[in-house]
Amino acid sequence: MQRIVFTGEDFEVLDQVLNLVPELRICALALKRARAAVIRYPLESRQVVAKLLHDAAPVVDGHGATRSQIENGIMAELFPIKDERELAACLYLALRRCDEDFARAAEASRSPTTVGEEDTNRPSRADDTTARWGQWVHCEAGVWTKVYEAPSTGFVYLWSNAPVALKWRRYSDAPPWYADGQATVSGKTVVFHGLPGLYTRIEVKPESPSDIMAS
């Protein structure tokens, strides 16, 4: 595969593309500031990453996360960060998790849950279950549930013993760092392929209660 190369003359083209995904612009600014600060790798501190994002995020409209919110969104599994590529992935994933938290808060404010009822809109969190490859996970209808959290070859396979329509989303330390989509899963179904990564997390939201396995 031919490597795509850009030069200084392509700045306006890249700038237009960055407008499509504002989070990448924030990551680029944070990475620029990391270079200016001569940050040394491997990077072990979540506080350093949170400060980089917190200082850069207000530059882009719509991102007003506090430093503690950003720090909570940084995955411990990504440390130590060995180079700029891994730092960029960590920055982007942290922003995506902050966006999810804001979306959940907005959804909860529109549809408050009665005390004592189960919050069926709450997506899974890292400490809910230990979803590894080759494990069946029961997924409730309309609820984001984690079904995989482990290294990945780049392919995402979902399994179901009965046909089920669902939405899926993937987070990874390898580009593309975030992907999502819809699929009807029946038996073994491939829903995504990308680059291998040391950390990949897959969540699904089926239309009906289902047992799902990811690999």
Per-residue pLDDT of 2-43, as tens digits, reads 678 888 888 898 888 877 777 788 888 889 889 998 888 998
Per-residue pLDDT of 180-201, as tens digits, reads 899 999 888 888 887 777 778 8
Q: Are 204 and 139 in contact (CB under 8 A)?
A: yes
Q: Are 160 and 141 in contact (CB under 8 A)?
A: no
122/107 Cα distance (integer angstroms): 10
* CATH assignment at residue 154: 2.60.120
Same-domain pairing of 35 and 91: yes
| Number of compact structural domains in the chain | 2
Q: Which domain does 21 fall in, by range?
A: 8-107
In a domain, 30, yes or no: yes
Q: Are 171 and 197 in contact (CB under 8 A)?
A: no
In a domain, 127, yes or no: no
Query: Which residue in the block uniquely carries the two structure tokens 């279950």?
Result: 129
* Residue 61 token pair: 């409209």
83/181 Cα distance (integer angstroms): 30
Same-domain pairing of 101 and 140: no
